């Protein structure tokens, strides 16, 4: 059975889709795509079924990624059964997820930037109310953290 990761943000149209696409690309390049499944979701329900924000798709395209297939979905308590690791974009998402999941399953929740040894903060800020430069900054943070997450996952799936 593959190792399963779900990236979670608030609405599943900006940060978590970027992380999903970036991580999937890294896994493909490393030959681990058949051993690690990646998805994303939001804690809120207001964007279910929608495409990623147009700025999300644009920043991904500018950097050689394809986010056009993304459709937003909501993370529900039962979603944890399909995850080995839930990667939250910020502390507010962690709090929401841990409240939703309780103590046992809440242990599966980690912050993305925990995996970046050079991170200067714990949160990936929400770029939704910012301009294109906010999306570029978020992509850079996510790429760096996903490289660290790849190392973590590689040691787990190779064990």
Contact status, residue 85 vs residue 37, Cβ threshold 8 Å: no
Q: At what angle do helices 54-62 and 132-158 cross, to 10 degrees?
A: 70
Annotated active-site residue 9? The verdict is yes
Annotated active-site residue 82? The verdict is no
Query: Residues near 149 by Cβ (< 8 Å), separated by ≥ 6?
Result: 5, 23, 87, 112, 115
Q: How many CA atoms lie within 13 A of 64 on its CB side?
A: 4
Contact status, residue 128 vs residue 14, Cβ threshold 8 Å: yes
Annotated catalytic residue within 53, 116, 123, 126? 126
Annotated active-site residue 53? The verdict is no
Annotated catalytic residue within 6, 9, 14, 146? 9
Annotated catalytic residue within 6, 14, 15, 55? 15
Give catalytic residue positions.
9, 15, 126
């Amino acid at each position: 059975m593959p190792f399963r990761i779900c990236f979670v943000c608030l609405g599943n149209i900006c940060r978590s889709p970027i992380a999903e696409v970036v991580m999937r690309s890294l896994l493909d390049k490393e030959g681990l795509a058949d051993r690690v499944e990646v998805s994303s979701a939001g804690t809120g329900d207001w964007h279910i079924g929608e495409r990623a924000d147009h700025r999300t798709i644009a920043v991904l395209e500018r950097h050689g990624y394809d986010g056009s297939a993304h459709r937003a979905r909501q993370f529900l308590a039962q979603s944890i059964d399909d995850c080995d690791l839930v990667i939250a974009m910020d502390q507010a998402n962690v709090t929401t997820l841990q409240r939703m999941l309780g103590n046992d399953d809440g242990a599966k929740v980690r912050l993305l930037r925990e995996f970046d040894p050079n991170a200067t903060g714990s949160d990936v800020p929400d770029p939704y109310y910012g301009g294109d430069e906010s999306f570029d900054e978020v992509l850079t943070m996510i790429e760096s953290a996903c490289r660290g997450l790849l190392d973590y996952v590689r040691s787990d799936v190779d064990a």
